[in-house]
Chains A and B, each alone.
Chain A
Amino acid sequence: MARKNRAFPEINQSSLADIAFMLLIFFLVTTTMDVDSGIYRKLPAWINDEQEPPKIKRRNTFIVLINKNNDLAINGEFAQVSELKNRVKEFILNPNDAQDLSEREDRFVEGIGDVKRSKGVVSLQNDRGTDYGAYIMVQNELVAAFNEMRNDFSFRQFGLKFDALSEEKQEMVREAIPTSISEAEPVEI
Chain B
Amino acid sequence: MAKFERKGKMKGVPPISTASLPDIVFMLLFFFMVSTTMKETSINVKIRLPEATETIKLEKKSLVSYIYVGAPLMQYQATLGTLSKIQLDDKFSEVSDIGDYIAAEREKRDEKERPKMTVSLKADEKTKMGLIQDIKLELRKASALKLNYSSRKRLTNSKYN
Contact = CB atoms under 8 A, between A and B. Distances in A.
Interface of A: 13-14, 16-17, 20-21, 23-24, 27-28, 30-33, 35-46, 80-82, 126-133, 135-137, 139-140, 143-144, 147
A130 B57 CA distance: 26
Given A37-B56, A39-B56, A43-B139, A139 B149 contact: yes
Interface residues of B, number: 58
B18 interface: yes
B52 A38 contact: yes
18 contacts: A13-B19, A20-B26, A21-B25, A24-B28, A27-B33, A36-B58, A36-B64, A36-B120, A36-B150, A37-B57, A42-B146, A127-B129, A129-B128, A132-B127, A137-B50, A137-B52, A140-B52, A143-B54
Contacts of A41: 147-149
B127 A38 contact: no
Given A24-B25, A24-B29, A37-B150, A136 B52 contact: yes
Contacts of A16: 22
B151 interface: yes
A177 to B, nearest CB: 15
Contacts of B36: 27, 31-33
Nearest to A41: B147
